[in-house]
């Protein structure tokens, strides 16, 4: 269970959206959180890979068909 306080303007927008679409505010809050979490996980994965030494390929390498197993 999660309870959050939203600024009045955001609460109003969320309520309006829910009413117009026939979905619940919980549905939209869940969808927003999931999308944000997906984005954050991608960002953290990218940063982690950039910080760790390892093989890197440029777009040109990939277009030339570099052997990715080496």
Question: CB-hemisphere CA count at 13 Å for 6?
Answer: 13
Question: Could you read off the pLDDT of 20-59 as tens digits, one per residue?
Answer: 999 999 999 999 999 999 999 999 999 998 888 787 778 8
Give pTM, 2 decimals. 0.64
Domain boundaries, the chain: 8-52
Specify the pLDDT at position 6: 95
Residue for token pair 């984005």: 39
Structure tokens at 43: 């960002």
Higher pLDDT, residue 51 or 13: 13
Specify the pLDDT at position 68: 64
């Amino acid at each position: 269970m999660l309870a959050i306080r939203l600024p009045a303007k955001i609460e109003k927008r969320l309520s309006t959206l829910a009413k117009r679409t026939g979905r619940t505010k919980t549905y939209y809050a869940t969808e927003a959180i999931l999308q944000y979490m997906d984005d954050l996980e991608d960002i953290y994965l990218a940063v982690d890979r950039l910080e760790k030494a390892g093989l890197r390929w440029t777009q040109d390498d990939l277009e030339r068909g570099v052997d990715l197993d080496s």
